[in-house]
Amino acid sequence: MLKHKIIGLDVGSRTVGIAISDLMGWTAQGLDTLQINEEENQLGIETLIDIIKKENVGTVVIGLPKNMNNTIGFRGEASLKYKEALAEQMPELEIVMWDERLSTMAAERSLLEADVSRQKRKKVIDKMAAVFILQGYLDRIN
């Protein structure tokens, strides 16, 4: 059993999908989607910190979107900046970057297979991508 829960983040330019582990550290569930504005540097860090404290989170796994050739592009840089902003506010937190190249595609595919409407998909895709990111990490550590 974990002492602290783990959350996974799928960082976009307008939203951050959040998933959380169970106390055993086996499964990831979608928790929330934060509305952010990257251009105006409104990253929702305060709200995220509230969630981290309320849920007793010890580790944050942030999806790092790499290009297929393993380089880090614009979105990857944005995820790294997000990590820095969070680490500045909570230096005691363990923050792990996780290669998430296929998580959004996997989330989209599973929603399509479940026949979720396009409008509903848009609402939950970030949270689902966060679930895929976190589940990949949990599977690796277990």
Res 123 pLDDT > 90: no
Give the integer Cα–Cα distance in Å for 105 and 109: 6
Q: Which two tokens stand for residue 13?
A: 């330019």
pLDDT at 67: 83
User: Residue 80 corresponds to which amino acid?
Assistant: L
Contact between 102 and 69 (Cβ < 8 Å):
no
What average pLDDT score do residues 12-40 get? 95
pLDDT at 118: 79
| Exposure class string for 116-137: b at 16+ Cβ within 10 A, else e | beeeeeeebbbbbbbbbbbbbb
What average pLDDT score do residues 123-140 get? 90
Q: pLDDT tens, 79-116?
A: 999 999 999 999 999 999 998 876 677 777 887 888 87
Confidence of residue 33 (pLDDT cuts 50, 70, 90): very high
Contacts with 75 (C-beta within 8 Å, 6 or more apart), sequence order: 65
What average pLDDT score do residues 133-139 get? 94
By CB neighbour count within 10 A (0-12 exposed, 13-18 middle, 19+ buried), where does 38 fall? middle
Contact between 30 and 97 (Cβ < 8 Å):
no
CA angle 33, 37, 42 (to 5 degrees): 95
pLDDT at 101: 73
pLDDT, greater one: 121 or 73:
73
pLDDT at 107: 74
pLDDT at 89: 97
